[in-house]
Structure 1
């Protein structure tokens, strides 16, 4: 009697079937209230950012004052200058020798909804 040896590696792979536990799990119902709140808050942050960027772009004197105060590590003066451009939101301002970092978040208590981070390089 002759026997034919067939190694296990030559067998076709079994088909991959979807896992019914993962493919049929229910998703929570969609509620857009938080998204709408975030969008409204972000629109305000973007508008304030536009005011600041326009002032920095249009006024060389203002840009010079911000850079000078930052290079001299005058944190309160940098914050005062940024606020004077029309920023009413909460700000976290840091700077390095190369750039200015501004993080804006809503002032109305919805701080967890969104943040806008601006990094402006000057060297």
Structure 2
């Protein structure tokens, strides 16, 4: 290499001012056709959960029933709360979780031959204290 006496770096081929980039064009992908059978089943199941949730809310709207639920919950009587909820006669399982300030009712779909997995969950969360 040749060194210029006035400069302390070697001369060579010019370097580009900007680095070169390769352009990656998006690859066109093919997707399988859409199958709505599972989604349609979930919609039907969720409608049932909504109906059952409405029945639950109607029953909780009864002041004497609400008082029984809240009193049992305040005393920590989980089994009594569950028994009171079962007296409503809902067609879906309900799990109740409560704290001093609120209550959650979780309604889930049941596993059937047509629906081998739990597709849907409806959680009703309400405040009942400060």
Q: Which has the higher helix share?
A: 1
Name stretches of at least 5 consecutive residues in structure 1 with no aligned partner.
Answer: 1-6
* Corresponding residue for residue 54 of structure 1: 58
Q: Tell me how many residue pairs correspond in the alignment.
A: 112
Corresponding residue to 2:37 among 5, 20, 33? 33
Deviation at 1:60, TM superposition (A): 0.6
Q: With the length of structure 2 as denominator, give the TM-score of the two structures.
A: 0.73
TM-score when scaled to structure 1?
0.77
The structure with the largest alpha-carbon Rg is 2
8 Å CA contact 1:70–1:78 kept in 2: the answer is: yes
Gaps of 5+ in 2: 1-15
SS in 2 for 1:93: strand
1:60-113 Cα offsets, whole Å, 9 max, x none, are 101101111111111111112122223221222111111111111113434521
Q: Which residue of 2 aligns with 1:4?
A: none
Task: Report SS of the residue matched to 1:116.
Answer: strand
1:121 matches 2:124: no
C-alpha contact (below 8 Å) 2:82/2:96 kept by paired residues: yes
Output the CA distance in 1 between the equivalents of 2:54 and 2:60: 10
Alignment of 1:67 onto 2:70: yes
After superposition, the CA RMSD in angstroms is 2.3
